[in-house]
Chain A
Amino acid sequence: MTPLLQVENLAKYYGARIGCTDVSFDLYPGEVMGIVGESGSGKSTLLNCLAGHLKPDHGAVRFATRSDGLRDTVTMSEPERRMLGRTDWAFVHQHARDGLRMNVSAGGNVGERLMAVNARHYGDIREQAIDWLGRVEITQDRIDDRPTAFSGGMQQRLQIARNLVTGPRLVFMDEPTGGLDVSVQARLLDLLRGLVRDMGLSAIIVTHDLAVVRLLADRLMVMKDGHVVETGLTDQVLDDPQHGYTQLLVSSVLQV
C-alpha cells in the first residue's frame, strides 16, 4: 500500500531556535495519527508545515494526489497547494473563530468550500449544507443563523462540517477539543470518531490531551523541544512508555 502522506526530514527553525526538526513518518489511508507533547514542543509548527501554512526550512512533505501520485507539497506552486487545501485537505482550528467566517450564516460557511470548487447551483449547495449540519447534530432551523449565535461546541461542530463537506482525504486537527467542557468534548470526540471511521478519513491530530488520542488515534508521536522522542501504536506508547518524557506525560494525567 502506498502512503497518503510521506514526511521526510522535515525541519523548521525560527532564527536560531528550533521549531521542529528531523521529523519523518508515513501516514497510510484510513490511519489517524496523534501528535502529543507539551506547549512549545513544536506540535503546531509541525502541523502548520504539513498543511502548507508554514514553509519548512528543509525536508519534504509528499502527498498522494488523485491525479499524479506522490507530489512534494513544499515545492508545489501555491495555486496547487491552495486547491489541495480546499479539496483533499481539511484543517480544523483549535478556536472555531479562526476557521469560520463569523459574519456569514452557518449554511454559507458550509457552502463556501463547495462554491470554491465551482458549485453554482444554490439548491444543491443548500441541500448539502443541510445534510452536513445534520451529520454534526446541528438542527436544520439553525442554517441561516450566524456562528456568533452558536455555543462553543456548536461552533466547533460547524467548523468540522464546513471542512468535511468536500470529502477531503486528510484532515489536520489542531487541538479540536481545546476550550470545550468535558461533556461537550466527549460528544465531539464521539462524533469525530464516527466521521473518521465512516468516511475512511486519514487524520493528524495535535493535542495535549491524552484521552483524545487514546480514543481517536491509531498511532502516536511524542514531541519534546522540537524533536520526536517516541513513536508507536497509541496503546503501546501510552501503556508502556519508554522515553523519560513520555513516562512523565503519562503519569501527569490526573486520575479521577
Chain B
Amino acid sequence: MKEYNFAYLDEQTKRMIRRAILKGLAIPGYQVPFASREMPMPYGWGTGGVQVSAAVLTPDDTLKVIDQGADDTTNAVSIRRFFQRTAGVAVTEKTGEASVIQTRHRIPEQALREGQIIVYQVPIPEPLRFLEPSEVETRKMHALEDYGLMHVKLYEDISQHGDIATAYAYPVKVEGRYVMDPSPIPKFDNPKLDMAAIQLFGAGREQRIYALPPYTKVVSLDFDDYPFQPTKADHACALCGSTSSYLDELITDDAGGRMFICSDTDYCATRVEDAA
C-alpha cells in the first residue's frame, strides 16, 4: 500500500517510540511515558502493542501475531492483516520462524531464542493501580522502591481465598528493582519471562512503554510460606496430548461436555503434525 508510510506510522513517531523503547531497555521494568498516537482501532484492542511493533518492524522481518495463544482469532487476524497491508512484511504462524511476535495475554510454549522480539499488548501497565489510585503517588512509590502495598494485595488473596488467587497479571520484580505488571498473561507464563528474546510492552491508552532485555532476572512476588506456583488446568490436551502446555477449557455442549486444548495453537498443531 503506497498511501501509507511503511508500517502505518510516520518516521518521526517511530523515532519517538524507539527512543522510549531504548530507554525502557536501559531501565528494565520502568514505565516510560510516550506520546501514544490514535490508531485505526479502538483502545483495548492493542493500540500500544501495534505502535511498538510498527516501530521495531523492518521490511525483512517475519511477523507472528497471537491472541490468547491463538493465531486465528479476530484480534490476531486483523492486526496481522494490518501489517501485511501497511508494511508488506512476511507473516507466519510458526513461533520459530517469526522475528517479531506481537501477543495478547500469552507467551508461546516454544522457548524464544536470541534475535527474536516479543511485543505485549498491555491494558494497564501500573501494577499498583488498584491499590493506590493516584498516579503521582504510584510513581513516587516506584521511585522510592516503596512496594509494601504489593504484598498487601497478595495477603488479601490468601486471607480471603486461602491461597494466592491472582491467576493473571501476576506482579513480578525485575532485577531486584522495579515491580512490573507482566500484562495479563496467566501466571503459568511468569517463569518464561526470564528469556533470551527481547520483550517489549506497549500500553496505548495509558501511554506507557516498558521492556525487558534478554536474560533479565524476573521474580514473581510471593510469601515465604506461600511460594509462587504457576498453575494450569490439571488435564492433558485433548488434541495433542501435551501435559505441560497451558490449556483452554472449551464447553462443547449444554450437557456438561467440555474439553481442554492447548491455548497455543501453533504448538498444538505442530505436535499433532509430528505425531502423524
Contacts and interface: CB of A to CB of B under 8 A. Distances in A.
Decide if the interface of chain A is mainly helix, strand, loop or mixed: helix
Interface stretch (A111-119, A187-195, A214-222, A240-248): A111-119
Contacts of B224: 120-122
A55 interface: no
B255 interface: no
Nearest to B222: A120
Q: Kindly state the interface size class of chain B when it binds its partner.
A: 10 to 19
Between B131, B152, B160, the greatest number of chain A beta carbons within 10 A of the residue's beta carbon is seen for: B152
Contacts of B38: none
Interface string A106-131: 01100111011100111101100000
B148 A122 contact: no
A91 to B, nearest CB: 16
Interface in B115-158: 131, 144-146, 148-149, 151-152, 155-156, 158
A82 interface: yes
B159 A105 contact: yes
Contact of B144 (A79, A108, A111, A112): A79
B226 interface: yes
Interface in B180-217: none
A22 interface: no
Interface in A207-242: none
Given A78-B144, A82-B146, A116-B146, A122 B158 contact: yes
Nearest to B221: A120
A147 to B, nearest CB: 13
A111 B223 contact: no
A107 B159 contact: yes
A101 interface: yes
B148 A117 contact: yes
A86 interface: yes
Interface string A47-75: 00000000000000000000000000000
B253 interface: no
Nearest to A144: B159
B225 interface: yes
Between B145, B158, B160, the greatest number of chain A beta carbons within 10 A of the residue's beta carbon is seen for: B158
Contacts of B226: 122
Contacts of A180: none
Given A82-B146, A116-B146, A144-B159, A108 B152 contact: yes
B141 to A, nearest CB: 9
Interface in B80-96: none
Contacts of A121: 223-225
A104 interface: yes
A126 B158 CA distance: 10
A166 B95 CA distance: 50
Given A121-B224, A121-B225, A122-B225, A108 B159 contact: yes
19 contacts: A82-B144, A82-B146, A104-B152, A108-B152, A108-B155, A108-B156, A111-B155, A112-B149, A115-B148, A115-B152, A116-B149, A120-B223, A120-B224, A122-B158, A122-B226, A123-B225, A126-B159, A144-B159, A144-B160
Interface of B: 131, 144-146, 148-149, 151-152, 155-156, 158-160, 222-226
